[in-house]
Structure 1
Amino acid sequence: MNWKTIFNPFVKFDEKKLLLAGIGSAIIVFSISYLLGYQMDSLFHFNYLDKKDSFLKSIGYTLLVYAISSLVFYIYGKIINKKTRFIDIITPVLISQCVGIFVVLLSEIPLVKNAQQEILSSTENIAPHFSPITLITTLVFSILSLTISVYGIALFYNGFKTATNMKNWYHIVVFAVLLLTLMISMQFLQ
């Protein structure tokens, strides 16, 4: 396995195997995030689960995120290349979201959780004071979270690029704008 396979498994593996892996990863992501009290509310974004939300409601939000994202990028893929298939779009959506579980798991490390709690509780102070451990922990967590998210976006981009044979720079710009718009707007659906 080389770097190209790690960042673009869509070229090497069969789409049916990738779809099954994507469905499996979506089930794992949903299960672990729900058990830890999180819910996917947008692409590459998790939010705390409301205590009154049921299991089925949480599944509904997650499926809505996947459905809207897949539909929007399928339409865009058809605009770029008429031969784009839905399976080739939904697979990168599902596969790219599996890396998000690592951010959720990182945030559950007691040191990280305590640092986040200390920062949240000190926001009421006019001149907040943090321990060096809290700042370092938050910085390392932020860098790791950003790196994991960038990897997920790279997986999604490479899968979409492979599915649509996207080559023009303006298609890439529209892809980035669509992704950013979806990431922000879907957080307001709740």
Structure 2
Amino acid sequence: MIRFTQLFEKVADKKLLSIGLVSLLIGSIIAINTNARFDGVLDMHLVKEVQPIQPFLDNIINTILLAIFLFALGKFINSKTRFIDILNTAFICRIPFYLLPLFNINHAITTITDDLLANIAEPELLLQSFATPTAVLLIGSFAIVSILALILFAYLLFKGFKTATNLKKTGHIILLVVTVLLAEVLSKFLVYLY
């Protein structure tokens, strides 16, 4: 059995690509049904209404843009870096974010946040709307899972990029972080262009 930590080393690139494409498709379908937008490489937001094509375009833009940025850095670090390995990294590292919209089944999160925003001017009502055990449990769970998804994203991205480029230097790791942040900024811009 292949351990999760050896995903990029042991799984064939075509199989990783298939997993990534299927995950993007499933994540987009989940987002359509839960009114979620992946409006940045590192972002997922819940909205009032989502057009069916939006999550697909969001995910395609985010994945391709991240792959292009990572590939440019990968070629700088190691001229033998292959695009398929970087593309697989971009696909696989985004999978944890596709689980986040599940918290908004039946508009659970948006209902709570709408109640909170409606009562924001009155602290007593604000506290009452947030003080239900269900609201605290749901928002708390969502926050914890969101943080875990971000950590898992970073881990998968680092492992995949390290495997693809033979990354070793601390300076290159810093460049990796900067590259992801630049991809995030540009992806935000591109997602809201359409």
Q: How many residues align?
A: 187
Distance in structure 2 (CA, Å) of the matches to 1:122 and 1:180: 34
Partner residue of 2:26?
A: 28
In the TM superposition, residue 123 of structure 1 has moved relative to its aligned partner by 2.4
In the TM superposition, residue 126 of structure 1 has moved relative to its aligned partner by 5.5
Distance in structure 2 (CA, Å) of the matches to 1:46 and 1:7: 25
**CA 132–8 in structure 1, closer or farther in 2 if over 3 Å, else same:** farther
In the TM superposition, residue 139 of structure 1 has moved relative to its aligned partner by 2.5
In the TM superposition, residue 26 of structure 1 has moved relative to its aligned partner by 1.0
Give ranges in structure 2 of 5+ residues lacking alignment. Answer: none
Contact 1:116 1:138 in 2 (8 A): no
Q: Which amino acid aligns with 1:117?
A: D
1:99 aligned counterpart, secondary structure: helix
Contact 2:46 2:110 in 1 (8 A): no
1:79-90 → structure 2 map (5 Å cutoff): 79-90=76-87
Contact 1:69 1:93 in 2 (8 A): yes
In the TM superposition, residue 98 of structure 1 has moved relative to its aligned partner by 1.6
Choose from 39, 58, 74 the match for 1:41: 39
What percent of counterpart residues are identical?
24
Distance in structure 1 (CA, Å) of the matches to 2:63 and 2:86: 11
**Alpha-carbon displacement from aligned partner over 1:74-108 (angstroms, at most 9, x marks no partner):** 00100000000100001011111121121111233
Q: Which amino acid aligns with 1:11?
A: E
Partner residue of 1:131?
A: 131
Residue 102 (structure 2) pairs with residue 101 (structure 1): no
2:44 aligned counterpart, secondary structure: strand
Distance in structure 2 (CA, Å) of the matches to 1:185 and 1:75: 15
Deviates more, 1:39-48 or 1:146-155: 39-48
Superposed CA RMSD in Å reads: 2.5
Partner residue of 1:75?
A: 72
**CA 181–107 in structure 1, closer or farther in 2 if over 3 Å, else same:** farther
Distance in structure 2 (CA, Å) of the matches to 1:71 and 1:64: 10
Q: Which amino acid aligns with 2:40?
A: S
Deviates more, 1:23-32 or 1:55-64: 55-64
In the TM superposition, residue 114 of structure 1 has moved relative to its aligned partner by 4.3
**CA 113–179 in structure 1, closer or farther in 2 if over 3 Å, else same:** same
Partner residue of 2:116?
A: 119
Contact 1:11 1:162 in 2 (8 A): yes
Residue 155 (structure 2) pairs with residue 154 (structure 1): yes
Partner residue of 2:15?
A: 17
Contact 2:32 2:51 in 1 (8 A): no
